[in-house]
Structure 1
Amino acid sequence: MKKHRNFILVGILTVFMVSCSENKRQSEEKKEIKKYKPFKIEFDNMKISKYTIEDIQIVNTKTIVGRMSNYTTKELNELPSSKRLTVCIVVPYEISKDILENTFKSIVAEKIKSDNDIDEIVIFAYDDKKDIGNTPYTFGKLLWSPNGKIGMMTPEIVVNKDRSSYKFDIKIKNKVGNIKKEDLPIKRELYIYNEIMNEKYIGMDDDKIRKIVMKKFKIKTKKEYEKIYLKVGVYKLF
């Protein structure tokens, strides 16, 4: 009988110890997943431009800190993935720097409100959708990320949704808000320039390209052709 009582006592103690150990583990896990305040975005609702989203991409990337060689295959598989959203928008050519910046921030606010799992956002702004894929941006760029930089993501930031270190890095070209009407290419000039830069002409002699384009658009002189090319090229570059 004594042995039986001892056996029951050992069983009870074992269950109690396992239960305590499990409670401690769960408590430690809860401590690891901290709660952070949502990222607050301040912008002027009265200074938002109309825009169109022409391209949107989502990429999930493992949150590797340091060298990949420092991780085992098992550790790499267990790492959480960060979610980056890349958006290409087209805005009116007459948009000001202030309005473009507010428009950028309004898009970020909208996206993170609809999807709390987004960890990074990149937005490229253009005035001509035909430039998308050919140049990084023609009007401006926004990056929303830890410290406003690429490559600062960590597993802790992703798991805890810690936005305390997040910042905006916004780059807007000097021409935005300063474009004179006479410097603005008309649609015909944009069509001509885009035709000249068409990848189908890659490797072709410049004189041959010029003759083809002049004939297609009924351009009368070489001087007119070069003037259009220079005007649009300078506009897109600056």
Structure 2
Amino acid sequence: MDRAVDAANLGAAAAGSLSLWGLFLHASLVVKLVMVGLIVCSIWVWAIIFDKIITIRRVNRQATEFEDKFWSGGSLDDLYDAEGAKPTHPLAAVFGAGMGEWRRSSRITGIDLVRGGVKDRVDRAMSITITREMERLERWLIFLATIGPVAPFIGLFGTVWGIMHAFGSIAAMHNTNLAVVAPGISEALFATAIGLVTAIPAVIAYNIINNSLALFSDRMEGFATEFAAILSRQSEERS
């Protein structure tokens, strides 16, 4: 009877320690540090994901609105004064860079865009702007690219350390009962689970966000090419 009561009490204690909070509390200090670090990284990952999703939607919406104004047939000089001189989004910055360089060069070389290397300077100005804007949009993506493959190994380190600690406790207690072994092993495996929960969203989000930014980069480059062709055509018409 006493053995049955002891087994029941031991099982109840083990069940309580197998809750998520119980697994964290009973883990060793090193495993706790691993868990806390992975949780912080997971929070950071989700913050980056939400920020990039909102940013990509915003810049695409702003680009669509700007392209509507650009292709509406209005004056490019008026559009530059309204949005290009002090751009508030990437596509307007590309337009402002090209239009600003064309204005500065036309005052020196006349209105001829083809001669005097003006076309090259306009293309270079827009290309540099695209690179700068993409670097700004891609900020913190390197964190997702790093956490994705690294987080499982950090969790695995916590698991290995936890299992070593669990076996040490088992040896000290001279008891291999499942109720004694299970909590220590579960604490160790919990670290790997947190690592996977951190890594999986980071990998998926990186691939999706990186593809979306690549499409937006192509969109800006296409706009720059069309804008350069328009400036070249206007220059030829005026010369």
> Which category describes the TM-score, using the shorter chain as reference length?
under 0.3
The TM-score normalised by the length of structure 2 is 0.27
Instruction: Pick the structure with more helix per residue.
Output: 2
Instruction: Pick the structure with more strand per residue.
Output: 1
Q: Which has the higher contact order (CA 8 A, sep 6+)?
A: 2
The TM-score normalised by the length of structure 1 is 0.27
